[in-house]
Amino acid sequence: MDLNQALDEPVTKYMSKNVLYLPEASTVVEAARSMQKNGIAAAIVTKNGKPVGIVTERDILYKVVAGGMDPRKAKVSEIMSSPIQTIEDDSKAGEALAKMTRLEIRRLAVMHEGKIVGLVVQKGIVAGSLKEQVPLPELLSPNEFRCPYCDQVLENAEALSKHIDRLHIGSGLLQGDSRKW
Q: Which long-range contacts (CB under 8 A, 24 or more apart) does 69-74 make?
A: 69/28, 71/27, 71/28, 71/29, 71/32, 72/27, 72/28, 72/29, 73/27, 74/27, 74/28
Chain mean position to CA 121: 5
**pLDDT score at 5:** 79
| C-alpha span between 78 and 141 (Å, rounded) | 52
Q: Judging by DSSP bridges, how do beta strands 21-23 and 42-47 pair with one another?
A: parallel
| C-alpha span between 45 and 76 (Å, rounded) | 7
| C-alpha span between 168 and 147 (Å, rounded) | 10
Nearest Cα residue to 76 out of 55, 61, 58: 55
- pLDDT in single tens digits along all 181 residues of the chain: 666 777 889 999 999 999 999 999 999 999 999 999 999 999 999 999 999 999 999 999 999 999 999 999 999 999 999 999 999 999 999 999 999 999 999 999 999 999 999 999 988 887 766 655 545 444 444 556 777 777 788 877 778 778 777 776 655 444 444 444 3
**pLDDT score at 40:** 93
- Three-class DSSP category at 7: helix
Domain residue ranges of the chain, discontinuous segments joined by +:
3-118, 135-175
Pick the CATH number of 3-118 from 3.10.580.10, 2.160.10.10, 3.20.20.140, 3.40.50.450: 3.10.580.10
**pLDDT score at 138:** 44
> What φ, ψ does residue 173 adopt, rounded to 5°?
-55, -40
- Judge contact between 67 and 52, C-beta under 8 A: no
DSSP letters, 85-139, are PEEETTSBHHHHHHHHHHHT-SEEEEEETTEEEEEEEHHHHHHHHHTTTPPPPEE
**pLDDT score at 154:** 80
